[in-house]
Amino acid sequence: MGKEADPVALYYRLQDHYGPQQWWPAETPFEVMVGAILTQNAAWERVEVAIASLKQHRLMSAAAICSIGQDELAEVIRSCGYFNLKAKRLQAFCGWYNGREQALSALETVPLREALLAVHGVGPETADDMLLYAFQRPVFVIDTYTRRLFERLGWYPQKSPYQQLQQFVEGAFSSWKEAERIVIFNELHGLIVAHAKAFCKKQPRCMGCPLQCGYEPEKK
Ligand code: SF4
């Protein structure tokens, strides 16, 4: 893949190689939002166990999560790590969300994002996970895998501001229809994660990589 910063070409190249990703793995929008909080600093496999535990304890609703003690909730989600912190964040989110579902869905994307960011424990990546995968809004999620890939592609340093990276990707698709952007951003995020797990790992496995970006680790 050439050095020209082209998220559209990246999307097609990854799509050709990995096929449809069809994220987010959840049964309901609320489950997406719970997963977005639980996956902070945790591998998805551990989050899946915590989500199964919430369901087993009949706690997969905002009202139910608010109805139990924080310590009890922490035990239920123990598998996902940082369980005390995440129990607190989950209850803060559910206390805010409970009963406001319809009003929130009616908000435009910008005020909805601002409202999400004002909730305890919800940062830009978590808010955008929720916006894209639960509220079906055309926002692109920037995560660690995206930062790593963009740096190796020679596009942006890993520590670039979140908003700069997001605007870069969203801008590349600005002429596309909203419905198309929702699908593309959904898929592209999933594709980057798939690529980071298959080839562009912490220690990149460049042989056989579909991007062949020319990254030279020894120079970094
Ligand atoms: S795995 Fe190697 S060739 Fe592929 S994108 Fe990452 S650094 Fe580039």
pLDDT digits (tens, 9 = 90+) for 59-113: 999 999 999 999 999 999 999 999 999 999 999 999 999 999 999 999 999 999 9
Is the C-beta atom of 56 inside 6 A of ligand 1? no
Instruction: Sketch the domain layout of the chain as residue ranges.
Output: 7-21+140-198, 29-133
Does residue 50 register a pLDDT over 70? yes
Read off φ and ψ for residue 97, nearest 5 degrees.
-80, -35
Residue with the nearest Cα to atom 2 of ligand 1? Answer: 206
Is the C-beta atom of 73 inside 6 A of ligand 1? no
pLDDT higher for 2 or 30? Answer: 30
Residue 169 Cα to ligand 1 midpoint, Å, equals 19
From 32, 37, 27, select the one nearest 74 (Cα to Cα). 37
Residue with the nearest Cα to atom 6 of ligand 1? Answer: 200
Is the C-beta atom of 215 inside 6 A of ligand 1? yes
pLDDT band at 218 (very low <50, low <70, confident <90, very high): low
CATH of domain 29-133: 1.10.340.30
